[in-house]
Amino acid sequence: MAKRDPEKTLRNKKINEITIEIKKLLPEVIRLTSAKNEHSLNGKYGGKYSAYIDIKNEIILSPEQFISLYFNGFHRKLEDLGIYATYGNAYYDAYSKVKKYPVVLEWLKLFLRRTYLRNYEALSKQRPTVEESVMWIGQENASYGILITPRFKRGQWENDKSEIRHFKPNYWTIGHILETGLVIPFIDDKRNFNDVNDYLSFFKNTIVRNSGSIHEMEIASRYCDFVKSSDDPQSIPLLIPEFRFDGIEKKHIYRLDFTIVDGYSMSKVGFELSPWSTHGALKKVNEKTQKQVNEEALLNFEKEMTKLKSYFRKYDITVLVYTDSDLKNYDKIFDEIKQYLNPKKYAAQLEFQAIEDFLNWEK
């Protein structure tokens, strides 16, 4: 059973603890900064973070990194003021209070830490490139598109690039597909889903079932059980079926059985279920010479390897291949797949140097 996200639980606990600390400092900080109230104080300092940090492009992986970027941006703002960096200027006045009063600096660091934790999901997400923001899946006459901010324009589906960074669900998760649905190629229509179970039923009984692979169905069933047992199913990454190499094109070369995209790092891994019967078996061997058999076997092998290399070169997807011996144990295969259904996030430690540089700034 998938457990409740311990990181989210810990973040909420930490946010509450920080709020208690902030409340203890507020009366003194409001007095020293001559702020009218807490709202005014927040606007003067904490509310400025979007002016100091390139929120649109920065991928911020820790509170320390967020604080660092804030003070670096504040520092640059002071330098840009030039001769106007003097009392009476709002930015300089705010800076002088932080430099003069340690309690104001302490409050500001707490406020920024809490701001980051409250906005963690949005601030820590890697923004996909234009090429990464659409995936076409499914069989030749039953294909669908997964986009992030889909809009139908001039007879085609595309992403509204200006809205991608505002997308609330984690990218390429169950929550993502519930938000966007699956788009229909060249038609202004979508297959929307009412809830998690609605999507999982369509995933298994329509898309995967159409592949005709019993192996894919077994893995799909285990994935559905995994999602349903989760305390937070919408955060589970999509097990993307039948990812089409040539996208929306009707004629295509390859489909990848399953793909998982880490919505934080945009790293991708594919899973190819390759039984000998469909990926390597030779026909009418008795009617062929040994040389012909070897040549045909080599051709089959090279075709499979070309497929794997093509996905890596074009989409940076590393593909794990499961052959007949692996396919005897579906549980073991899915245990390996599960490792990629819990993306890891990493942090950076940059806070202290940025604050030191900020406090040591001189005109």
pLDDT of residue 346: 43
Angle at 155 between CA 152 and CA 158, to 5 degrees: 40
The pLDDT mean for the chain works out to 84
User: Where is mean pLDDT largest: 86-100, 209-223, 237-251, 261-275?
Assistant: 209-223
Q: What ranges in the chain are assigned the alpha helix state H?
A: 6-33, 38-44, 49-52, 63-81, 90-100, 102-118, 120-123, 174-180, 196-202, 209-211, 214-228, 276-279, 290-315, 330-338, 351-359
Q: Give the type of residue at 81.
A: L
92 vs 219, higher pLDDT: 219
Q: In the predicted model, what is the mean pLDDT of residues 134-147?
A: 89
Q: Provide the terminal-to-terminal Cα distance of the chain, rounded to the nearest Å.
A: 59
Residues paired with 144 in a beta bridge: 137
4-8, 154-158, 305-309: lowest mean pLDDT where? 4-8
Are the C-beta atoms of 70 and 112 separated by less than 8 Å?
Answer: yes
325's CB contacts (< 8 A; 6+ apart) are none
Are the C-beta atoms of 327 and 333 separated by less than 8 Å?
Answer: yes
pLDDT of residue 293: 45
Are the C-beta atoms of 343 and 264 separated by less than 8 Å?
Answer: yes
Are the C-beta atoms of 190 and 183 separated by less than 8 Å?
Answer: yes
Signed CA dihedral, 319, 324, 325, 330: sign only: positive
pLDDT of residue 23: 96
Are the C-beta atoms of 205 and 223 separated by less than 8 Å?
Answer: no
Which pTM was predicted? 0.64
Angle at 110 between CA 106 and CA 116, to 5 degrees: 145
Q: Among candidates 131, 163, 331, 135, which has minimal Cα distance to 239? A: 135
Neighbours of 154 (CB within 10 A): 5
Are the C-beta atoms of 144 and 207 separated by less than 8 Å?
Answer: yes
168 vs 21, higher pLDDT: 21
3-state secondary structure of 272: strand
Percent of the chain with pLDDT over 90: 47
> What would the pLDDT profile of 35-94 be if each residue is shown by its tens digit?
999 999 988 887 778 888 887 777 788 888 899 999 999 989 888 888 887 888 888 899
The three-state DSSP-derived secondary structure of 261-287 is ECCCCCCEEEEEECCHHHHCCCCCHHH
Confidence of residue 127 (pLDDT cuts 50, 70, 90): confident
Q: Is the pLDDT of residue 155 over 70?
A: yes
Return d(Cα 236, Cα 178) in angstroms, integer.
12
> What would the pLDDT profile of 260-314 be if each residue is shown by its tens digit?
998 877 889 999 997 754 544 445 555 656 655 455 555 655 666 678 787 878 8
Judged by phi (left if over 0) then psi (alpha if -120 to 50, else beta), residue 335 lies in alpha
Q: How many CA atoms lie within 13 A of 252 on its CB side?
A: 22
